[in-house]
Structure 1
Amino acid sequence: MPAALLSREEVVGRLLGVFRQQGYDGASLAALSEATGLGRSSLYHYFPGGKDDMVNAVLDAVEAWLKDVGLAPLREPGTPEERLRAMLRTLDGFYEGGRLACALGALSLGSAKERLQPRLRQIMGLWMTELARVLEEAGLKPAMARERAEDALVEVQGALVLSSGMGDAAPFKRAMKRLPETLLRDAAPPPRRAQKPG
């Protein structure tokens, strides 16, 4: 699609691809321009604050996706395990089975780390809070639920880094498969439904 016809949302999606692969420092204006098909002046028209505006738009998009899509399965009906598995299937799609890097991980490194850290903390905190809530519903005590939620992010992010570095999505796939059991270990079993007489 010609760049002039791209919506701002589509431009941000293309910027996301660059930042998740190259981080803040590696995402040169030339690379961002090439990915979007927009010249520098057009990029500045969309994002007057330059690269910081671009990366903040990307973080806005990631946070919105996480709230509205990525974590939505955790708020659906079903057992904690069913909801966790549904969330992980959504994440698996977002990361294309471990073939795509995570923008949050890529942006947590480099020269902009300190400027971006409040936003990164907010987004990661949202993710951990939603996970911990479901784990508490499964019967884990709040402190353990929070610790397991942190462990889940470590597992997901670590598996993405390893898969990317090795050029092999198998570590990510293994992590996604075992994560529900790991998170719910020692959780209280769900209450049994009373059988109707009959």
Structure 2
Amino acid sequence: MAEVKVGQEELMLGFLEIFRKAGYQGASLNALAKASGLKKSSLYHRFPEGKQQMAKEVLAYIGNLMRTNVTQVLLNDSDKKQRLKTAIKNINELYANGKSACVLRTLSMETGLGLFSGLISQIFDDFVLGFSKLAADFGFAEAECKKIAEGVLVKIQGSLIISNAVENTSLFKNTLKEIENSFLHQK
């Protein structure tokens, strides 16, 4: 039987879905193999460090998506309103309109926190950096920009958790709109 060829993007999307739903501890190798389209032996060949390496690569993948679609958008020097709208739209898409759990949260539970806290912190730090610059560009007081950015992060993460828990994405969507309005209506 011919060996199945699975691209990196396809692998990461499959792993991402499992880690989003099950977290690190709950993600079985059987589920990861099924989601990837590979046999377990092929997984071990491709990821010799096992599940931990798979999770680290998913975090690197998500970090890259967040940097490209949120942080870099917020850090560039184009029109601040357009940057805000684009970043909010991209956040909405990254979380499937609030339907997808945040893999950063699920991988930071239980043993995942000890294994991945540095990678997760870096992604959150990049996010805060982008929204801090945007806050400054909107004219918020310099001393407040980081607090505002951290508040944006907390609102997004909190609304995702609650939207998923109650199976109602309107809270997530309303939170994104609220965040956008808080920048656009800054005095």
TM (normalized to structure 1)?
A: 0.87
Looking at structure 2, the residues matched to 105 and 112 of structure 1 have their Cα atoms a distance apart, in angstroms, of 10
Offset from partner CA, 1:39-98 (integer Å, 9 cap, x none) = 1111111111001100010011011111122334322611x2331121010111111110
Structure of greater Rg: 1
* Aligned residue identity for 1:169: T
Aligned partners of 1:135 and 1:184 also within 8 Å: no
Structure 1 unaligned residues grouped into runs of 5+: 188-198
* Aligned residue identity for 1:175: T
Corresponding position: 1:42 with 2:21: no
* Aligned residue identity for 1:103: V
SS at match of 2:4: helix
Corresponding position: 1:6 with 2:6: yes
Aligned partners of 2:47 and 2:54 also within 8 Å: yes
| Fraction of identical pairs, as percent | 29
How far is 1:112 from its partner?
2.0
Aligned partners of 2:70 and 2:127 also within 8 Å: no
Instruction: Provide the aligned C-alpha RMSD in A.
Output: 1.8
Looking at structure 2, the residues matched to 106 and 16 of structure 1 have their Cα atoms a distance apart, in angstroms, of 10
* Aligned residue identity for 1:132: S
Corresponding position: 1:77 with 2:78: yes
4+ residue runs of structure 1 moved beyond 3 angstroms?
Answer: 183-187
Distance 1:83 1:106, change over 3 A: same
Aligned counterpart, 1:138? 138
Distance 1:23 1:3, change over 3 A: farther
Aligned counterpart, 1:193? none
Aligned counterpart, 2:98? 98
* Aligned residue identity for 1:129: L
Structure 2 unaligned residues grouped into runs of 5+: none
Looking at structure 1, the residues matched to 89 and 30 of structure 2 have their Cα atoms a distance apart, in angstroms, of 34
TM (normalized to structure 2)?
A: 0.92
